[in-house]
Amino acid sequence: MTSFIIAIDGFSSTGKSSFAQMIAKRMNFVYVDSGAIYRLVTLNALQQDLFKDGSIDQNLLKDSLESIDVSYEIKNSKSEICLNGVNVEKRIRMIDVADHVSLIASFGFVRDWVNDKLRKSVLGMNVVMDGRDIGTTVFPNAQLKIFMTADPQIRAQRRVAQLAASGSNPSFDEVYKNILERDYFDSHREVSPLKQAADAIVLDNSHMTMEQQMDWIMSIMREKFNFTFDEA
Ligand code: CDP
Protein backbone atom coordinates (compact mmCIF):
# COMPACT_ATOMS: atom_id res chain seq x y z
CA MET A 1 0.00 0.00 0.00
CA THR A 2 1.31 3.45 -0.83
CA SER A 3 1.62 5.59 2.22
CA PHE A 4 -0.33 8.82 2.70
CA ILE A 5 1.67 11.73 4.05
CA ILE A 6 0.27 14.86 5.64
CA ALA A 7 3.03 17.49 5.93
CA ILE A 8 2.41 20.31 8.39
CA ASP A 9 4.82 23.22 8.27
CA GLY A 10 4.65 26.69 9.67
CA PHE A 11 5.78 29.24 12.17
CA SER A 12 6.89 28.42 15.69
CA SER A 13 4.13 27.80 18.27
CA THR A 14 1.26 27.75 15.82
CA GLY A 15 0.06 24.52 17.39
CA LYS A 16 1.41 22.25 14.68
CA SER A 17 2.21 19.39 17.02
CA SER A 18 -1.10 19.45 18.92
CA PHE A 19 -2.95 19.52 15.62
CA ALA A 20 -0.79 16.75 14.15
CA GLN A 21 -1.34 14.58 17.24
CA MET A 22 -5.11 14.99 17.01
CA ILE A 23 -5.06 14.16 13.31
CA ALA A 24 -2.96 11.05 13.99
CA LYS A 25 -5.39 9.86 16.64
CA ARG A 26 -8.54 10.54 14.59
CA MET A 27 -7.19 9.07 11.36
CA ASN A 28 -5.03 6.35 12.84
CA PHE A 29 -1.85 7.80 11.30
CA VAL A 30 1.62 7.77 12.84
CA TYR A 31 2.67 11.17 14.22
CA VAL A 32 6.28 12.32 13.83
CA ASP A 33 7.57 15.54 15.43
CA SER A 34 10.62 16.51 13.34
CA GLY A 35 11.39 19.51 15.58
CA ALA A 36 11.92 17.15 18.52
CA ILE A 37 14.94 15.66 16.76
CA TYR A 38 16.49 19.12 16.18
CA ARG A 39 15.82 19.88 19.83
CA LEU A 40 17.43 16.58 20.88
CA VAL A 41 20.59 17.35 18.87
CA THR A 42 20.64 20.78 20.54
CA LEU A 43 20.24 19.32 24.03
CA ASN A 44 23.06 16.89 23.34
CA ALA A 45 25.30 19.81 22.27
CA LEU A 46 24.37 21.73 25.44
CA GLN A 47 25.13 18.70 27.59
CA GLN A 48 28.51 18.34 25.88
CA ASP A 49 29.14 22.04 26.44
CA LEU A 50 29.74 22.72 22.75
CA PHE A 51 28.38 26.29 22.62
CA LYS A 52 30.86 29.11 23.11
CA ASP A 53 29.38 32.62 23.25
CA GLY A 54 26.36 31.55 21.23
CA SER A 55 28.35 29.89 18.44
CA ILE A 56 29.50 26.33 17.93
CA ASP A 57 32.43 24.48 16.37
CA GLN A 58 30.94 22.60 13.43
CA ASN A 59 33.48 19.76 13.58
CA LEU A 60 32.67 19.08 17.21
CA LEU A 61 28.96 19.21 16.39
CA LYS A 62 29.49 16.77 13.52
CA ASP A 63 31.34 14.36 15.84
CA SER A 64 28.61 14.69 18.47
CA LEU A 65 26.02 13.33 16.00
CA GLU A 66 27.82 9.99 15.99
CA SER A 67 27.21 9.49 19.68
CA ILE A 68 23.45 10.14 19.45
CA ASP A 69 20.95 7.35 19.62
CA VAL A 70 17.32 8.42 19.11
CA SER A 71 14.55 6.16 20.36
CA TYR A 72 10.95 6.52 21.51
CA GLU A 73 9.04 5.43 24.60
CA ILE A 74 5.26 5.08 24.57
CA LYS A 75 3.67 6.87 27.54
CA ASN A 76 -0.10 7.39 27.89
CA SER A 77 -0.38 6.30 24.25
CA LYS A 78 1.93 9.11 23.11
CA SER A 79 5.46 8.55 21.91
CA GLU A 80 8.13 10.41 23.85
CA ILE A 81 11.63 10.97 22.53
CA CYS A 82 14.73 9.52 24.22
CA LEU A 83 18.36 10.59 23.89
CA ASN A 84 20.70 7.63 24.42
CA GLY A 85 17.95 5.82 26.30
CA VAL A 86 16.94 8.75 28.55
CA ASN A 87 13.46 10.23 28.08
CA VAL A 88 14.01 13.93 27.26
CA GLU A 89 10.54 14.80 25.95
CA LYS A 90 10.03 17.56 28.57
CA ARG A 91 13.64 18.66 28.79
CA ILE A 92 13.87 19.50 25.06
CA ARG A 93 10.94 21.96 25.36
CA MET A 94 12.79 24.19 27.84
CA ILE A 95 13.87 27.69 26.93
CA ASP A 96 17.65 27.01 26.83
CA VAL A 97 17.07 24.43 24.11
CA ALA A 98 14.63 26.76 22.28
CA ASP A 99 17.24 29.53 22.40
CA HIS A 100 19.91 27.41 20.64
CA VAL A 101 17.90 25.15 18.33
CA SER A 102 17.60 27.44 15.30
CA LEU A 103 21.38 27.71 15.04
CA ILE A 104 21.74 23.93 15.16
CA ALA A 105 18.96 23.51 12.57
CA SER A 106 20.72 25.89 10.18
CA PHE A 107 23.60 23.48 9.42
CA GLY A 108 23.18 21.41 6.25
CA PHE A 109 24.92 18.36 7.72
CA VAL A 110 22.55 18.36 10.72
CA ARG A 111 19.54 18.65 8.40
CA ASP A 112 20.79 15.74 6.23
CA TRP A 113 21.29 13.60 9.34
CA VAL A 114 17.79 14.41 10.65
CA ASN A 115 16.09 14.00 7.25
CA ASP A 116 17.64 10.59 6.77
CA LYS A 117 16.24 9.48 10.15
CA LEU A 118 12.82 10.94 9.36
CA ARG A 119 12.49 9.28 5.95
CA LYS A 120 13.70 5.87 7.18
CA SER A 121 11.47 5.85 10.24
CA VAL A 122 8.18 6.07 8.33
CA LEU A 123 8.66 3.90 5.23
CA GLY A 124 5.30 2.58 4.00
CA MET A 125 3.25 4.17 6.80
CA ASN A 126 0.43 6.70 6.82
CA VAL A 127 2.07 9.63 8.53
CA VAL A 128 1.42 13.12 9.79
CA MET A 129 4.70 14.96 10.29
CA ASP A 130 5.23 18.54 11.45
CA GLY A 131 8.18 20.87 11.07
CA ARG A 132 9.54 23.66 8.89
CA ASP A 133 10.45 21.96 5.61
CA ILE A 134 8.43 18.74 5.51
CA GLY A 135 6.37 19.69 2.46
CA THR A 136 9.26 21.43 0.70
CA THR A 137 12.26 19.16 1.38
CA VAL A 138 11.61 16.05 3.46
CA PHE A 139 8.48 14.86 1.61
CA PRO A 140 7.99 17.09 -1.43
CA ASN A 141 5.48 14.54 -2.78
CA ALA A 142 3.29 14.54 0.34
CA GLN A 143 -0.36 14.20 -0.69
CA LEU A 144 -1.53 16.97 1.67
CA LYS A 145 0.55 19.98 2.72
CA ILE A 146 -0.63 22.46 5.32
CA PHE A 147 1.14 25.70 6.20
CA MET A 148 0.19 27.03 9.64
CA THR A 149 0.38 30.59 10.81
CA ALA A 150 -1.14 32.71 13.60
CA ASP A 151 -0.72 36.09 15.23
CA PRO A 152 2.63 36.07 17.14
CA GLN A 153 1.12 37.52 20.36
CA ILE A 154 -1.47 34.74 20.41
CA ARG A 155 1.24 32.16 19.73
CA ALA A 156 3.32 33.44 22.65
CA GLN A 157 0.30 33.30 25.00
CA ARG A 158 -0.37 29.71 23.97
CA ARG A 159 3.28 28.72 24.45
CA VAL A 160 3.47 30.32 27.92
CA ALA A 161 0.36 28.37 28.96
CA GLN A 162 1.81 25.14 27.56
CA LEU A 163 5.14 25.63 29.36
CA ALA A 164 3.38 26.51 32.62
CA ALA A 165 1.39 23.27 32.37
CA SER A 166 4.64 21.32 32.17
CA GLY A 167 6.13 23.14 35.14
CA SER A 168 8.42 25.74 33.58
CA ASN A 169 7.56 29.42 33.88
CA PRO A 170 9.39 31.76 31.50
CA SER A 171 7.94 35.27 31.15
CA PHE A 172 5.66 36.27 28.27
CA ASP A 173 8.34 38.68 26.96
CA GLU A 174 11.02 35.99 26.96
CA VAL A 175 8.81 33.56 25.05
CA TYR A 176 7.55 36.25 22.63
CA LYS A 177 11.13 37.29 21.85
CA ASN A 178 12.20 33.69 21.29
CA ILE A 179 9.28 33.11 18.91
CA LEU A 180 10.07 36.21 16.81
CA GLU A 181 13.77 35.37 16.71
CA ARG A 182 13.19 31.77 15.66
CA ASP A 183 10.65 32.80 12.99
CA TYR A 184 13.22 35.19 11.56
CA PHE A 185 16.13 32.76 11.75
CA ASP A 186 14.11 29.81 10.39
CA SER A 187 12.81 31.85 7.44
CA HIS A 188 16.16 33.41 6.54
CA ARG A 189 18.64 30.55 6.90
CA GLU A 190 20.40 29.43 3.74
CA VAL A 191 19.67 25.71 3.91
CA SER A 192 16.06 24.64 3.60
CA PRO A 193 14.43 27.74 5.10
CA LEU A 194 10.87 27.81 6.40
CA LYS A 195 8.86 28.56 3.30
CA GLN A 196 5.34 27.79 2.21
CA ALA A 197 5.29 25.04 -0.44
CA ALA A 198 3.58 26.22 -3.65
CA ASP A 199 0.93 23.51 -3.25
CA ALA A 200 0.36 23.96 0.52
CA ILE A 201 -2.99 25.06 1.96
CA VAL A 202 -2.64 27.92 4.46
CA LEU A 203 -4.30 27.60 7.86
CA ASP A 204 -4.36 30.76 10.00
CA ASN A 205 -5.66 29.49 13.33
CA SER A 206 -5.39 32.74 15.35
CA HIS A 207 -9.11 32.59 16.08
CA MET A 208 -9.89 28.92 15.63
CA THR A 209 -10.54 26.22 18.19
CA MET A 210 -9.01 22.76 17.88
CA GLU A 211 -12.46 21.38 16.98
CA GLN A 212 -12.79 23.88 14.14
CA GLN A 213 -9.34 22.89 12.87
CA MET A 214 -10.30 19.22 12.96
CA ASP A 215 -13.56 19.88 11.06
CA TRP A 216 -11.52 21.84 8.52
CA ILE A 217 -9.03 19.05 7.82
CA MET A 218 -11.57 16.26 7.94
CA SER A 219 -13.64 17.93 5.27
CA ILE A 220 -10.52 18.23 3.09
CA MET A 221 -9.72 14.54 3.64
CA ARG A 222 -13.30 13.58 2.79
CA GLU A 223 -13.82 15.83 -0.19
CA LYS A 224 -10.40 15.80 -1.79
CA PHE A 225 -9.16 12.32 -0.92
CA ASN A 226 -12.37 10.33 -0.31
CA PHE A 227 -11.29 9.30 3.21
CA THR A 228 -14.06 7.94 5.41
CA PHE A 229 -14.12 8.34 9.21
CA ASP A 230 -16.06 6.72 12.01
CA GLU A 231 -18.14 9.41 13.68
CA ALA A 232 -16.31 10.67 16.83
O1 CDP B 1 7.34 23.79 18.75
P2 CDP B 1 7.87 24.81 17.82
O3 CDP B 1 6.99 25.00 16.61
O4 CDP B 1 8.23 26.09 18.45
O5 CDP B 1 9.25 24.28 17.27
P6 CDP B 1 9.67 22.80 16.92
O7 CDP B 1 8.77 22.22 15.86
O8 CDP B 1 9.85 22.03 18.15
O9 CDP B 1 11.09 23.07 16.23
C10 CDP B 1 12.14 23.66 16.94
C11 CDP B 1 13.12 24.30 15.97
O12 CDP B 1 13.71 23.27 15.14
C13 CDP B 1 12.55 25.30 14.97
O14 CDP B 1 12.55 26.63 15.46
C15 CDP B 1 13.51 25.18 13.79
O16 CDP B 1 14.66 25.97 13.98
C17 CDP B 1 13.94 23.74 13.83
N18 CDP B 1 13.23 22.87 12.86
C19 CDP B 1 13.65 22.88 11.55
O20 CDP B 1 14.52 23.64 11.18
N21 CDP B 1 13.08 22.03 10.65
C22 CDP B 1 12.10 21.19 11.02
N23 CDP B 1 11.58 20.34 10.11
C24 CDP B 1 11.64 21.19 12.36
C25 CDP B 1 12.21 22.06 13.26
Q: Is 4 helix (H, G, I), strand (E, B) or coil?
A: coil
Q: Which fold has domain 5-222?
A: Rossmann fold (3.40.50)
Atom of ligand 1 nearest to the CA of 42: 12
Q: Tens digit of pLDDT per residue, the chain (232 long)?
A: 569 999 999 999 999 999 999 999 999 999 999 999 999 999 999 999 999 998 999 999 999 999 999 999 999 888 899 999 999 999 999 999 999 999 999 999 999 999 999 999 999 999 999 999 999 999 999 999 999 999 999 999 999 999 999 898 999 999 999 999 999 999 999 999 999 999 999 999 999 999 999 999 999 999 999 998 776 5
- In this structure, the residue with its CA closest to atom 6 of ligand 1 is 35
Query: Residue 180: which H helix or E strand, with range?
Result: helix 172-188
- In this structure, the residue with its CA closest to atom 10 of ligand 1 is 35
Q: How far is CA 99 from CA 33, 92, 155, 163, in A?
A: 18, 11, 16, 14
Distance of alpha carbon 109 from alpha carbon 113, whole angstroms: 6
- In this structure, the residue with its CA closest to atom 1 of ligand 1 is 13
